[in-house]
Amino acid sequence: MKFNKLLENCKIYEAGKPIELVVREYGVKQEDIIKLASNENPYGTSTKVVKKIQELAKNMFMYPDDSMYELKEALGEKFDVNSKNVIIGAGSDQIIEFLIKAKCSENSKILMAKTTFAMYEIYGRQEGCVALKTEDGMHNLEQFEALYKEHNPEMIFLCIPNNPLGECLDKEEVYKFLEKVSSETLIVVDGAYQEYAAYKDPKKRIDPKELITKFPNAVYLGTFSKAYALGGMRVGYGIGDEAIIKTLYKLRPPFNITTLSLAAAIEALKDQEFVNECIKLNFKEMKRYEEYAKKKGFSYIESYTNFITFKFENKYISSDVAQKLLERGIIVRDLKSYSVNAIRITIGREDQNTKVFKVLDEVLDELKK
């Protein structure tokens, strides 16, 4: 059977390994497994959200409000934008798909960092796009500018902070670069981890209203999967100029998030105290990872997210480390698929992290022999 030829060069997105796989393949008890591979919020979901979902579970036979009025109004109030500037997606990656379909066609060029969120390239290749990548893994805006001037791409993706590495550009350097970009180029600022970056360093904060006012050709992406702890609910959003958002609605399928997902996101926005506490604990625990890397003599990338990247250089092979951790019930993300000899570890709770360090000690000692 023949399929769309554009799919021949498309990679399949490699998600973090599920807990069920580790139970099945390695015989580790489910209660002993620590999953730190998908950047989920380790503190669980706000109890207020859980209570609301329990109350509304009886309504799951009903379709959601397809206008998503209440959620868009709440996001509009939070970011001081009109609800007409907001679109809701099944995760922010669905909005990435909308944006590429809206702007690109076969042989369109899209520009991104060498090591960044894989779905930019995957969705692009589904439309026949050519992916332009910087030489540096992290966001080097000089290289972005050089490639932009040479190729005049239809779209530019800036992941701020960057997943899977964790580094983050300052807002002012981002704006300085965007001033050099044509108004015909669609700019995507992916702020999936912005809540963390803004907490750690205000210079990293990208304000959606300011962004789309200064640059009407830019779209800001946010998600409820990380700081708001709704990864399993799959709710993301885009904020942009009304004309762009109106175009994206032509691609949005009806009822693209669920009744319970919609309710969860609305309630999660109300519990900012929970979000702030999770972020505070995240950076407190991250310091332990930084100290651990220094003690062991390998480097890490300063992170503005809820994960940290350990770079092994020639000391260890990342896939060996990740596999041995997996066999012991600790799931981390091997970055070998990004051609980086490193592992990415979601910052867990204090008890989880203590166990990670203990097991990682054992693994690294074993690999030295």
| Ordered strands of the 342-346 beta sheet | 299-301, 307-311, 342-346, 333-334
Q: How confident is the model at residue 13 (pLDDT cuts 50, 70, 90)?
A: low
- The DSSP string of 70-104 is HHHHHHHHHHT--GGGEEEESSHHHHHHHHHHHH-
The second-level CATH assignment, the architecture, of 47-271 is 3-Layer(aba) Sandwich (3.40)
| Upper half-sphere CA count for residue 89 (Cβ side, 13 Å) | 25
Residue 266, Cβ neighbours under 10 Å: how many?
A: 20
How far apart CA 1 and CA 70 sit, in angstroms, is 45
**pLDDT for 115-147, tens place per residue?**
999 999 999 999 999 999 999 999 999 999 999
Is the confidence at residue 21, as pLDDT, over 80? no
- Segment 204-218, tens digit of pLDDT: 999 999 999 999 999
Q: What confidence category does residue 14 fall into, taking pLDDT thresholds of 50, 70 and 90?
A: low
Q: How far apart are CA 241 and CA 299, in angstroms?
A: 41
- Helix H segments across the chain? 19-26, 47-56, 69-79, 92-103, 119-126, 141-151, 171-178, 194-200, 208-214, 242-249, 259-270, 272-296, 318-327, 350-368
Whether residue 156 is predicted with pLDDT greater than 80 in this model: the reply is yes
Q: Where are the domains of the chain?
A: 5-43+273-368, 47-271
DSSP letter at 191?
-
In angstroms, the CA 29 to CA 100 distance is 42
Tokens of 331: 């799931």
CATH of 5-43+273-368, one of 3.90.850.10, 3.30.230.10, 3.10.50.40, 3.90.1150.10: 3.90.1150.10
> Residue 291 contacts by C-beta under 8 Å, 6 or more apart in sequence?
none
* Mean pLDDT estimate for the chain: 94
Q: Tens of pLDDT along 192-241?
A: 999 999 999 999 999 999 999 999 999 999 999 999 999 999 999 999 99
**Alpha carbon distance 352, 288 (integer Å):** 12
